[in-house]
Amino acid sequence: MVEQLTSKVASLLNGSLPTDTVATLISPPGVPGRPYVISTQDGEIIYIPLSKSATRLVVTGKETENAFAVVGSGGSQSDPIGFHYHKETHDIFLCTQGNINIWAGEKCRTMSPGDFASVPPNVIHQYQVLGAQSGMVGLIAPGGWEEFFRFIGEPYSGPMWPMDDNRKVFEVLIPKLKAAAEQFDMVPLPQHKQFGPQEWEESENHLPGQLEPYFLKNASGPAYEVGGTVCRPLITTAESSGKFSIGSIEGSSHFHEQSIFAKDQQRLRFDNVHHAFQVAEGRVEFQLDGSTAPSKLAAGELIYVPKGTAFRFRHTSRFGKMYAFASGGGLVEALCKLGKSHVSPILPEKAEEFVDVGALERLQPELGFTIE
């Protein structure tokens, strides 16, 4: 009896028996194959000395088998962090609050919420937090580079971030940065000439279709609508050398009966693609393998769905928006291929029912998922 109970508890902890809902954690679990929910105000919080900001690790390479990491950052007005580049690491910057300056190559843009920047390997870049309180979320591919933040930073347990740090930079930060440059994929360029932000260009409203640095203004790029759900791809496998995709997914509780998940309990299982979904506005419910009740997410919460885990979701507010991060084409590219072009910056007033089940089925071998 005791052995059976012990086995059952072990299975429950490993996620092989059904639970009520996906576990809500305050930091990533550090092991692969485990779904979890986390607030983007939580995560493993790291303070980089003198930065007036806090970095939050919400998905790390340990969960994704080094496919990617998702890192949040919030801070107050400070100096640019310093030009550098990576030989293999691809950086993504997505502004979520306030304003952030992003430099990429010969361009610099002041980003507002929803604006996006892609910085591939070997592109010189830096960023700067502006204003009283600004924030962004970033994807790092491959995962593992987030160890850099642990190396140069300090664990932080305060509500936001320190504003008064009177320590000397040459004592608490510079030695660590020099050591980090030798251990991590980072080449600092302290002599690189600084320059200021430039105006956004009208052409910064599309995806380049290949690996190169680019900026994308909020809600100005391509969009695809299927059953009342609008997907706006920010980067696809074409712009990431096949490594990942990111997009915003917008929907409404009014349109659930028209969506691809309208059929009761229908789910999608991506065999080789990890997903993370971060709610930006409204409320979204997720139902995953191994849970008997839905996970109810509000703005600022993220759910991690490891590869091989079937899932479904529904928007439960009048309007909802979330960002999807995937270690491949994933759901973002599935919605783009299924949908029709959508030119409006908002949801359609009415939605047609998704009836082309055959189109969804035909995508299964291309994108590596099954319908359950």
Q: Which CATH number fits domain 41-188: 3.40.50.720, 2.40.50.840, 2.60.120.10, 1.10.1040.10?
A: 2.60.120.10
The radius of gyration of the chain from alpha carbons, rounded to an integer in Å, stands at 21
For each successive 10 residues of the chain (372 residues), what is the average pLDDT?
40 54 96 96 96 97 98 97 96 98 98 98 98 97 95 96 93 91 92 97 96 97 97 98 98 94 92 98 95 94 98 97 98 97 95 86 96 94
Q: Is omega for the bond preceding 162 within 30 degrees of 0, making it cis?
A: no
Q: How does pLDDT run across 214-266, given as a tens digit for each residue?
A: 999 999 999 999 999 999 999 999 999 999 999 999 999 999 999 999 988 89
Reported residue count of the chain is 372
Ranges for all domains in the chain classified under CATH 2.60.120.10: 41-188, 222-371
**How far apart (Å, rounded) are the C-alpha atoms in residues 124 and 245?**
22
Q: Nearest to residue 65, comparing CAs of 310, 274, 240?
A: 274
Phi, psi (5° rounding) for residue 232?
A: -115, 100
Domain 222-371 CATH (choose: 2.60.120.10, 1.50.10.20, 3.30.2290.10, 3.40.50.2300): 2.60.120.10
pTM of the model: 0.93
Cβ-contact 242, 66 below 8 angstroms: no
Cβ 301 vs Cβ 313: under 8 Å: no
Residues 169 and 238: their CA atoms lie apart, in Å, by 41
Per the structure block, which two tokens stand in for 176? 């660590």
